[in-house]
């Protein structure tokens, strides 16, 4: 009887979740329900799945509307009808065209029009007029002559008055207006509430044929999907048998490439995997990925295959990944096993610039009607809802900010209470559909068999549901990601060839793993710019682990993850690695557990460890263990399966006689992995990319750093990478109109920053400079430049001030004087190409005041950091300690005072919920200073922006990693550039600081203080 039901996937309109809709229908004695969200099919698949096992018949369709105005409802008779509706909806969503007053002729779908929109005599066979209970009094005259064309139409949009209020708030937000100004035409009727079946029948008691028509329509509809069965493209070639033959051939070819003469162990592993792949009918899936990476290599695109796919020897042989699973004892069942219910997926990272090209290849190769990006739902969040609802009620910004910070609800007025109440109710509602970060589906059937699609700005069709529903259906998504780390490697290889002529085989991992230079970089944490190993926390971990080999780097890649780190197991891993007696104690406490985790000293580090512990320690089946592993993700935890597995985990351990405290600790470790844990293969893949980056950094540091700068840096700001280049012997220059490109360039050891780093320099200006230089050669002077390039005075001033005309050997002020004279009466130069260039009169200007720091301050303003001087040279003239980072190993457990230029601050919560900070600095010589500010010190001496700081504290050492426990922290003032005659005479902050530290000279180490020159 319910032909027009909405969930909250009718974005900013509906208010009911799928579960609530089903529960409401069961409570009100319905045995069927038609889900028709507005211009959307997001809920359809999950709606049908949830119906399984319930005494309800699922029917789906679409409520086609222009804005809030309903045109007609399409109801699928069967799966083919659902496809027709999806294709109709997709056309309009892609084209942006409004829906016409009449629906097209559907062969397998019913159409229901609202009463009054069309005369019954004009209806086709499967078209009807919907009559609401409130419209029964309109059934007179000509309408009574067409009773066979009338059906009951009771829309369901909310459950009660509160839901109706939520609906009005959502409509107000969607219309970007005030609640008091929301037009009635933009909201649903208050009676769009699910009435009981008996109430509906009572309303239409005098119209039995309308009831019969409605029941007959629903009875003639049947839609069904088989879940958890492979929906991917079935064959890469002409048949599954041919697919397997090709896969086997490629695997044998790959053995020769990877191993030369393979050992029996390698062959056995390959044949075992091939058998399972054939059994699971996954040959096409492997071949599609192989085809993809083959295309990438043919186009010179660099990639890294990661994730659990790295557990596969066949994937290694097909060059989908560069991880040898035998080397790391990775077991294939983590990727594919007959007990695993969810399909596998490969994650393949490409250089960011190549991602769209690779994605387009997939669509072109496999068909745009059978390929789509995976969707994702953007949901309303509590704090943002307070802001949005505050606007809806017309509250000023300062009151909204107070509401967001309030903790005392009793102090609020009625409006404030309403805002907070409804913000909590709407929290978690889907707001709109977006695009999954990487997932792509390649279907055997057209995508429209399952969903309509949107066309986001990326230009690729995107399905209406998320990866969870895709997995439920049986899709294995192809994850294609863009990554700056690979862009850096790709650019670095090109720069090395251009600057040195050398060629690099980036896949020669066996050589890299034994390289002494790479080992030294890893062991001492000298990894700035290198993928995944450059952060302060990773540098610290590498130092403490003395991680100079591949296996320890793989472990470190996973140990650093929040789940392991925050549970305290990262520290325990380090302690057990450095002190093996702790391993003996752990082994005595739980020998069965330690035996499973012996490689990682009894500590769970990888996702595979969760499976091992669940299966072999707690006695869960492999399928149950995989549910537990997947349950580590927040998006899966809400499903009932996770709670059931948790209960069984504890009951099994109790039966095995394990100590309850031990079981609880093990479970806590498992839970700490939530949404963070890496599979071992994933960590190994990251380690492979780290090694590739480290190799280039070790042998071609300047080219690698330039590539890093050109790709937006990494963990740190551009300034730090410029400093790193200087530490490796580079000569750094600002952008130059004759040497620079849009990006930074290198010639030998000379680096010119790119025009693209200049704030406020327009793209059109950059293009004009470069195009004219390519055409006519280097610029000879300012006058020559102005005669050839159209440019405004404002844009020209930026170039002069940053030093782009330093080659003229004229001062900036003289150049600016000439520029103002030439462009004084024109907004922009208008160069004309003539045979003879007219000479421009030059002036001799008087000598003007010049401060040595002028260039540095111009660079800070225009680039964000100084080039010609270090940050230390910007400090006011005052006594400063001269302690260096190199001195700290000799000062363990002593108090020191040292000056550092701030690089990075990480703030974190201590166990008492107070904030502590970790500061990273560089000293006068450019070397690292690591500091820790415990909560009391962090609160008393907070960081106050970039610049140089005076640090006082105690030098501490843990496993070779040296840091300073800060006792006091002061940001030092910079020199001002006013002329001496205008400077203030009164004592300022810098003098007071200087006096304070001169008084404390006796408390400082002898090497730590000196008078300024």
| pLDDT confidence of residue 877 | 82
Q: Is the pLDDT of residue 445 over 80?
A: yes
pLDDT, tens digit, 9 for 90 and up, residues 453-475 = 999 988 999 999 999 999 899 99
899: which strand partners? 950
Which one is predicted more confidently, 871 or 623? 871
pLDDT for position 306: 84
In the predicted model, what is the mean pLDDT of the chain? 88
Structure tokens at 181: 């100004």
How confident is residue 408, by pLDDT bands cut at 50, 70 and 90?
Answer: confident
Residue, of 819 and 167, whose pLDDT is higher:
167
DSSP assignments along 818-848, one per residue: HHHHHHTT-SB------SSPPPPP---PPP-
**DSSP secondary structure letters along 954-987:** EEEEETTEEEEEEEEEEEPPBPP-S-GGGS--S-
Instruction: Provide the Cα torsion 372, 273, 226, 346; round to 10°.
Output: -20
> pLDDT confidence of 611, banded at 50, 70, 90?
confident
Query: What DSSP element (H or E) covers 58?
Result: strand 57-66
Backbone φ and ψ for 325, nearest 5 degrees, come out as -65, -25
Instruction: Assess whether pLDDT exceeds 60 at residue 752.
Output: yes
905 confidence band (pLDDT: 50, 70, 90): very high
Average pLDDT over residues 762-766: 95
Q: Could you give phi then psi for residue 907, rounded to 5 degrees?
A: -105, 140
Neighbours of 810 (CB within 10 A): 16
Q: How confident is the model at residue 166 (pLDDT cuts 50, 70, 90)?
A: very high
Would you state the pLDDT for residue 1000? 47
Predicted local distance difference test score (pLDDT) of residue 821:
84
Coil/strand/helix, residue 40: coil
The answer to whether 957 and 945 are in contact (CB under 8 A) is no
As a whole number of angstroms, the distance between CA 627 and CA 625 comes to 5
User: Are the C-beta atoms of residues 760 and 798 closer than 8 Å to each other?
Assistant: yes
Residue 862 confidence (pLDDT): 94
The token duo for 731 is: 């000569």
Q: How many separate helices (H) and strands (E) can be counted in the chain?
A: 39, 21
Q: Other CB atoms closer than 10 Å to residue 914's CB: what's the count?
A: 12
Average pLDDT over residues 594-612: 87
Query: Using alpha carbons only, what angle is made at residue 209 by residues 203 and 212, rounded to the nearest 5 degrees?
Result: 90
Tell me, what's the pLDDT at 997? 44
Please, which pLDDT band fits residue 833 given cuts at 50, 70 and 90?
low
**What end-to-end distance do the CA atoms of the chain give, in Å?**
91
H or E stretch including 255? helix 240-259
DSSP string, 907-961: EEE-TTS-EEEEEEEE-TTS-EEEEEE-HHHHHHS---SSSEEEEEEEEEEETTE
Q: What is the pLDDT of residues 658-712, one digit of tens each?
A: 989 999 988 887 877 655 667 888 888 889 999 999 999 999 999 999 999 999 8
For residues 373 and 287, give the distance between their C-alpha atoms in angstroms, rounded to a whole number.
20
Task: Tell me which residue of 843, 631, 451 sits closest to 623, measured CA to CA.
Answer: 631
pLDDT band at 637 (very low <50, low <70, confident <90, very high): very low
CB proximity list for 505: less than 8 A, separation 6 or greater: none
Q: Which residues pair with 963 in a beta bridge?
A: 956
- 876-895 average pLDDT score: 92
Contact 340, 622 (CB under 8 A): yes
pLDDT band at 996 (very low <50, low <70, confident <90, very high): very low
Highest mean pLDDT, choosing among 261-265, 333-337, 360-364, 509-513: 360-364
Highest mean pLDDT among 78-87, 852-861, 911-920, 966-975: 78-87
The CB density around residue 89, as the number of other CB atoms within 10 Å, is 23
- Check if the beta carbon of residue 147 is closer than 8 Å to that of residue 154: no
Measured distance CA(952)–CA(553) in Å, rounded: 34
Under 8 Å between Cβ of 185 and 68: yes
> Are 240 and 283 a contacting pair, CB within 8 Å?
yes
pLDDT tens digits for range 287-313:
999 999 999 999 989 899 887 888 899
Q: How far is 952 from 216, CA to CA, in rounded Å? A: 83
1005 band by pLDDT with thresholds 50, 70 and 90: very low
Q: Are 337 and 412 in contact (CB under 8 A)?
A: no
Query: In the chain, what are the helix, strand and coil shares in percent, each to the nearest 5?
Result: 50, 15, 35
Question: Whats the size of the chain, residue-wise?
Answer: 1013
Q: How far apart are CA 571 and CA 564, in angstroms?
A: 9
Per-residue confidence (pLDDT) for residue 995, from 0 to 100: 44
The stretch 157-173 carries a mean pLDDT of: 95
Judged by DSSP in three states, 437 sits in strand
Rounded Cα distance between 304 and 490, Å, is 12
**Residue 991: pLDDT band with limits 50, 70, 90:** very low
Q: What is the pTM of this model?
A: 0.83
Nearest to 537 by CA among 679, 715, 688: 715
57-66 and 150-152 as β-strands: parallel, antiparallel, unpaired?
Answer: unpaired
Please name the residue that has the structure tokens 């007179």.
140
- Higher-confidence position of 851 and 1011: 851
pLDDT in the model for residue 347: 87
Predicted local confidence at residue 345, as pLDDT: 74
pLDDT at 763: 94
Phi and psi angles of residue 609, each rounded to the nearest 5 degrees, phi first:
-65, -35
Give dist(CA 201, CA 154) in Å, integer.
Answer: 11
Q: How far apart are CA 22 and CA 904, in angstroms?
A: 52
Q: Identify which of 281, 296, 163 has the alpha carbon closest to the alpha carbon of residue 230.
A: 281
SS3 labels along 172-203? HHHHCCCHHHCCHHHCCCCCCECCCHHHHHHH
Q: How confident is the model at residue 250 (pLDDT cuts 50, 70, 90)?
A: very high
* pLDDT tens for each residue of 85-121: 999 999 999 999 999 999 999 999 999 999 999 999 9
Tell me how far apart the alpha carbons of residues 785 and 736 are, in angstroms, rounded to a whole number. 12
- Residue given tokens 């492997």 in the structure block: 286
pLDDT in the model for residue 985: 36
Which residue matches tokens 């959307």? Answer: 40
Does 334 have pLDDT greater than 80? no
- Exposure of 3 by Cβ count < 10 A (0-12 exposed, 13-18 middle, 19+ buried)? buried
pLDDT value of position 673: 65
Give the position of tokens 């910007």.
874
Q: What is the pLDDT of residues 199-219, one digit of tens each?
A: 999 999 999 999 999 999 999
CA dist list (Å): 965 to 580, 928, 968? 28, 15, 9
Predicted local distance difference test score (pLDDT) of residue 280:
87
- Rg of the chain, C-alpha, whole Å: 34
């Amino acid at each position: 009887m319910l032909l027009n039901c909405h969930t909250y996937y009718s974005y900013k309109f509906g208010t009911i979740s799928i579960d609530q809709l089903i529960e409401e229908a069961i409570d009100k004695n319905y045995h069927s329900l038609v889900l028709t969200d507005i211009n959307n099919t997001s809920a359809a698949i999950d709606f049908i799945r949830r119906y399984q096992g319930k005494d309800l018949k699922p029917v789906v369709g679409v409520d086609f509307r222009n804005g809030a105005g309903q045109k007609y409802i399409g109801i699928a008779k069967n799966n083919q009808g659902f496809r027709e509706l999806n294709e109709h909806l997709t056309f309009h969503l892609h084209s942006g065209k409004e829906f016409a007053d009449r629906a097209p002729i559907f062969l397998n779908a019913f159409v229901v029009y609202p009463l009054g929109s069309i005369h019954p005599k004009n209806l086709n066979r499967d078209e009807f007029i919907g009559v609401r209970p409130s419209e029964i009094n309109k059934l007179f005259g000509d309408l009574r002559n067409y009773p066979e064309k009338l059906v009951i139409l009771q829309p369901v949009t909310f459950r009660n008055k509160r839901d109706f209020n939520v609906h009005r708030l959502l409509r107000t937000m969607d219309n970007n207006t005030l609640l008091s100004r929301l037009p009635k035409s933009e909201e649903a009727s208050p009676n769009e509430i699910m009435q009981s079946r008996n109430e509906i029948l009572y309303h239409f008691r005098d119209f039995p044929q309308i009831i019969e028509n409605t029941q007959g329509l629903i009875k003639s509809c049947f839609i069904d999907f088989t879940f958890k069965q492979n929906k991917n493209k079935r064959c890469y070639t002409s048949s599954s048998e041919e697919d397997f033959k090709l896969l086997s051939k490629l695997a044998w070819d790959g053995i020769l490439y990877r191993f030369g003469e393979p050992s029996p162990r390698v062959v056995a592993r390959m044949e075992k995997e091939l058998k399972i792949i054939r059994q699971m009918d996954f040959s096409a899936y492997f071949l599609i990925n192989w085809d993809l990476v083959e295309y990438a290599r043919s186009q010179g695109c660099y990639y890294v295959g990661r994730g659990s796919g790295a557990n596969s020897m066949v994937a290694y042989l097909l060059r989908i990944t560069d991880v040898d699973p035998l080397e790391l004892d990775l077991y294939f069942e983590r990727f594919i096993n007959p007990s695993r219910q969810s399909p596998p997926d490969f994650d393949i990272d490409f250089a960011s610039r190549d991602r769209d090209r690779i994605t387009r290849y997939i669509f072109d190769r496999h068909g745009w009607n059978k390929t789509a990006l995976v969707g994702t739902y953007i949901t309303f969040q509590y704090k943002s809802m307070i802001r949005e609802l505050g606007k809806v009620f017309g509250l000023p910004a300062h009151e909204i900010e107070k509401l967001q910070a309030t903790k005392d609800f009793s102090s609020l007025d009625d409006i404030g209470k309403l805002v907070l109440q409804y913000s909590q109710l709407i929290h978690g509602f889907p707001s709109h559909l977006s695009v999954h970060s990487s997932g792509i589906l390649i279907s055997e059937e057209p995508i429209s068999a399952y969903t309509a699609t949107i066309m986001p700005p990326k230009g690729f069709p995107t399905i209406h549901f998320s990866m969870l529903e895709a997995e439920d259906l049986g899709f294995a998504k192809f994850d294609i990601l863009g990554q700056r780390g690979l862009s850096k490697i790709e650019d670095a290889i090109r720069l090395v060839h251009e600057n040195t002529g050398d060629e690099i085989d980036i896949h020669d991992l066996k050589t890299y793993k034994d390289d002494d230079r790479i080992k030294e970089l890893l062991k001492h944490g000298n990894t700035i710019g290198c993928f995944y190993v450059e952060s302060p926390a990773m540098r610290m971990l590498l130092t403490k682990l003395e991680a100079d080999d591949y296996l320890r780097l793989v472990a470190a890649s996973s140990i650093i993850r929040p789940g392991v780190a925050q549970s305290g197991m990262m520290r325990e891993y380090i302690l057990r690695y450095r002190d093996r007696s702790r391993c003996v104690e752990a082994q005595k406490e739980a020998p069965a557990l330690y035996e499973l985790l012996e490689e990682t000293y009894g500590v769970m580090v990888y996702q595979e460890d969760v499976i091992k512990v669940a299966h072999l320690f707690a006695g869960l089946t492999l399928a149950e263990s995989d549910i537990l592993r997947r349950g580590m993700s927040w998006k899966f935890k809400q499903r009932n399966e996770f709670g059931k597995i948790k209960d069984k985990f504890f009951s099994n351990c109790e039966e095995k006689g394990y100590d309850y405290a031990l079981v609880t600790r093990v479970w806590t470790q498992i839970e700490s992995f939530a949404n963070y844990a890496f599979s071992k293969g994933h960590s190994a893949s990251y380690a492979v990319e780290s090694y590739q980056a480290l190799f280039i950094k070790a042998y071609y540091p300047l080219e690698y750093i330039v590539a890093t700068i050109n790709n937006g840096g990494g963990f740190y700001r551009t300034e730090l990478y410029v400093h790193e280049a200087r530490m490796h012997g580079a000569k750094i220059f600002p952008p130059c109109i004759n040497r620079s490109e849009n990006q930074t360039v290198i010639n030998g050891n000379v680096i010119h920053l790119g025009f693209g780093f200049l704030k406020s320099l327009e793209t059109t200006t950059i293009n004009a400079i470069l195009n004219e230089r390519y055409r006519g050669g280097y610029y000879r002077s300012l006058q020559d430049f102005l005669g050839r390039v159209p440019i405004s005075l404002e844009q020209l001033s930026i170039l002069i001030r940053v030093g782009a005309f330093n080659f003229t050997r004229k001062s900036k002020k003289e150049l600016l004087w000439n520029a103002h004279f030439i462009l004084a009466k024109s907004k922009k130069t208008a160069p004309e190409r003539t045979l003879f260039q007219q000479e421009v009169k030059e002036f001799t200007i008087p000598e003007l005041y010049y401060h040595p720091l002028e260039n540095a301050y111009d660079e800070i303003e225009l680039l964000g950091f100084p080039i010609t001087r270090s940050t230390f040279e910007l400090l006011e003239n005052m006594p400063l300690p001269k302690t260096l980072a190199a001195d700290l190993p000799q000062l363990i457990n002593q108090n020191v005072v040292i000056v550092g230029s701030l690089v990075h601050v990480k703030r974190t919560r201590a166990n008492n919920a107070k904030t502590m900070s970790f500061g990273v600095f560089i000293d006068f010589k450019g070397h690292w200073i690591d500091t820790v500010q415990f909560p009391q010190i962090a609160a008393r001496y907070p960081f106050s922006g970039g610049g140089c700081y005076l640090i006082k504290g105690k030098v501490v050492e843990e496993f070779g990693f040296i840091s300073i426990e800060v006792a006091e922290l002061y940001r030092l003032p910079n020199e001002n550039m006013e002329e001496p005659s205008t400077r203030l005479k009164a004592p300022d902050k810098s003098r007071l600081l200087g006096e304070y530290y001169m008084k404390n000279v006796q408390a400082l180490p002898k090497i730590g203080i000196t008078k300024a020159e």
